[in-house]
Amino acid sequence: GTGTPLLELTDLSVNYGAIQAVRGLTLHVQEGEVVTLIGANGAGKTTTLRAVSRVLRPVAGTVRFAGRDITRLPPDEAVKLGIAQSPEGRQVLARQSVQDNLELGAYTRRDAAGVRQDITRMYERFPRLGERRAQLAGTLSGGEQQMLAIARAMMSRPRLLLLDEPSLGLAPIIVREIFSIIRELNEQGTTILLVEQNARLAMQSSHRTYVLEAGQMTFHGDSPELLNDERVLHAYLGG
């Protein structure tokens, strides 16, 4: 697309104490895109997502959302603006029911009727969550917990969904299901920034890809092209 990006990171740097996890990162996500971040363990992918969701405060650079500088916005304000994160390791509330988890995902909303309606829609989209709505989230399978984590993030009606390793630890058939859900959410209008170890599947499911190494962006491009790029084939696709 053209025009103001939905998300724009400029010269972003994020530290953990003396550790420079992200260094001078510049990237953008246009409305309607799925964009993938790939890179080895420790490259700074999760840190980048956490800076966007405002959980981490950058030491330098800016985060812009729909043209607005949100670098210093508190995390719940970012949710209200339309940024939702499904964190790595799923992190559903294990001792709460499926339904409670979905309600919690809507904590910034004041339209109770709309929230109920959205929960019904989530149960239509994720029938297994509907069947297990009263069950404690901790008793769900790994794949179901991942679906719940995504559904919970969607409950804030985000314009931008941040997905951190949605395929982590899941069986191949479930991974394919998760990715078809990701494509479907995108087709229905949600812009997605995706972090994945499964680089091939993530690139096959995204419009563009950024490659991170040691906290810096090394190259980027359209995903279909990078899928055939020697640098990606060699380092990230086992080619």
Binding interface with ligand ATP (CB under 6 A): 16, 19, 21, 39, 41-47
Kindly tell me which of 87 and 105 has the beta carbon lying closer to ligand ATP: 87
**Residue pair 83/53 in contact by the 8 Å Cβ criterion:** yes
- Compute the distance between CA of residue 36 and CA of residue 134 in angstroms, rounded to an integer: 34
- Which amino acid makes up residue 179? F
90 CB-near residues (< 8 Å, 6+ apart): 142, 145, 146, 148, 149
Phi/psi of residue 3, nearest 5 degrees? 85, -170
Question: Least distance from C-beta 43 to ligand ATP, angstroms?
Answer: 4
Tokens for 15? Answer: 């530290």
Kindly tell me which of 46 and 71 has the beta carbon lying closer to ligand ATP: 46
Question: DSSP string covering 153-173, please?
Answer: HHTT--SEEEEE-TTTT--HH
Question: Least distance from C-beta 45 to ligand ATP, angstroms?
Answer: 4
Kindly tell me which of 136 and 168 has the beta carbon lying closer to ligand ATP: 168
Kindly tell me which of 195 and 226 has the beta carbon lying closer to ligand ATP: 195
Nearest CA to 161 out of 206, 114, 130, 119 is that of 206
3-state secondary structure of 13: strand
Using alpha carbons only, what angle is made at residue 234 by residues 173 and 49, rounded to the nearest 5 degrees? 60
Tokens for 166? Answer: 């949605």
Question: Least distance from C-beta 21 to ligand ATP, angstroms?
Answer: 3
Question: Least distance from C-beta 36 to ligand ATP, angstroms?
Answer: 12
Question: Least distance from C-beta 41 to ligand ATP, angstroms?
Answer: 4
Kindly tell me which of 45 and 132 has the beta carbon lying closer to ligand ATP: 45
Question: Least distance from C-beta 182 to ligand ATP, angstroms?
Answer: 18
Kindly tell me which of 51 and 227 has the beta carbon lying closer to ligand ATP: 51
